[in-house]
Amino acid sequence: MTALERNQLRFTVMSLVPPLMLFTFWIALPSAKAFYFALTKWDGLSEPEFIGPGHLASIATLQDPLVQTAVKNNLILMVVPAMLILSLALFFASVIRSGLRGGSLFRVTFFFPNILSAVAISVLWMLLYSTSGFGVFNNFLEWFNQSLIGLGARSEPLLKVPFAFTDSSILVWSIVPMMVWTATGFYMLLFFASMQSIPESLYEAARVDGASTFSQFWHITLPMIRDTVVTGLVFLIIAGLKIFDQIWVIEQQQARPDSNTLTTLMYSKIFTEYRVGYGTAIAVVLFLVILGFTLATFKLYRKEALEY
């Protein structure tokens, strides 16, 4: 071996071994261990007792009423924000693409909430939602009530004010606007960037044929950026599945049966009920569902390249 080869080999080994060790001991092996813990009954103090896939089966078949509520909440947070965010983002991106003075001001401003922590956004919205005197939304509802009475449309208030937006029973619905407010700007940028690669000649041809703005969007823009929209949809579904921070912060770092999602339920099973095996099984189910969605994305991608 020449001196050069020795030098190269040393660099290769030195550059790869430390990160591989770190990855193996902090990510890969712990992930594998999680699958084992999910098959055990364990209080976190004594030795884990192997019981087989009982926990996984119980979660997958929704035996536990707490799991039922959590799954229902997760489904709401997977579907509703995704629909609203994708529609709004597509709309904003097409309007800005069609040429608009100040387009970059809109892009930069709409994107900003994305770089804030979920904790800060939750605290901010908690204050907006507050039932105390400063709650902006409740003051608006009160103003609405008074206006109706003032106009003589009603004799008593139409809405019950103050309305408890962050009450556990409806918390997931109050988180929907938060997520839409936060994420729309990111998806708008994503779609806007993707629209840049659509050749202008397609739109010109459509205009010559007398296609309306909407039919241009439906028949040209949307099919051309289909893969980006699919990617966005899967991102949002996974985000709704993994959501934790917003609920945990608004519920004052405690799990409540009505507002649980799978992640907050997992947390409380592990750290308050000491059912560590069961909690880990929830995480394993979460991982498998995310894996399924990710693999499904590749199936949904367009099979052959578009020709134009």
Partner 1 sequence: MGRDRLNPGRVVCLSVLIAWLFAVVFPFVWVLQTSTRSTQEIFRSPFGIPSDFWGSLKANYTKAWVESNFSDYFANSLIVVLSTMVLLFILACPAAYTLARKRSRTSRFLLIYIVSGMMVPAPLLLVPLFFQYKDWSAKLTEWFSPMLSMIGYENATISLADSQPGLVILYTALALPFTIFVLTSFFRTLPTSLYEAGIMDGCSEFRVFWSVMLPLARPGLITVAIFNFIGLWNEYFFALVFINSDKYKTLPLGLASVSIQANYRSDFGLLFAGLVIVLLPTLLVYIFLQSYLVRGITVGALKG
Positions of E strands within the chain: 40-41, 49-50
Footprint on residues 139-158 left by partner 1 (CB under 8 A): 139
Footprint on residues 52-81 left by partner 1 (CB under 8 A): none
Q: What is the DSSP letter of 131?
A: S
CB of 153 to partner 1, least distance (A): 25
Cβ(307)–Cβ(223) below 8 Å: no
Q: Which of 68, 87, 134, 300 binds partner 1 (CB under 8 A)?
A: 134
Indicate the SS3 state at residue 40: strand
Footprint on residues 74-133 left by partner 1 (CB under 8 A): 88, 91-92, 95-96, 98-101, 105-113, 115-120, 123-128, 132-133
Q: From residue 141, give the alpha-carbon distance in Å to each of 170, 191, 279.
A: 17, 35, 41
Residue 165 contacts partner 1 per CB under 8 A: no
Stretch that binds partner 1, among 31-39, 64-72, 77-85, 144-152 (CB under 8 A): 31-39
Footprint on residues 288-307 left by partner 1 (CB under 8 A): 290-291, 294
Stretch that binds partner 1, among 55-63, 78-86, 182-190, 215-223 (CB under 8 A): 182-190
Footprint on residues 258-277 left by partner 1 (CB under 8 A): 263, 266-267, 270, 276
Q: From residue 117, give the alpha-carbon distance in Å to each of 47, 121, 123, 245, 260.
A: 38, 6, 10, 9, 20
Residue 142: Cβ within 10 Å count? 16
The residue (of 146 and 213) whose beta carbon lies closer to partner 1 is: 213
The residue (of 27 and 159) whose beta carbon lies closer to partner 1 is: 27
Footprint on residues 235-254 left by partner 1 (CB under 8 A): 242, 244-245, 248-249, 252-253
# binding residues, partner 1 (CB under 8 A): 95
Residue of 124, 89, 143 lying closest to 250 (CA atoms): 124
Strand-strand pairing, 40-41 and 49-50: antiparallel
Q: From residue 14, give the alpha-carbon distance in Å to each of 8, 20, 21, 144.
A: 10, 10, 11, 68
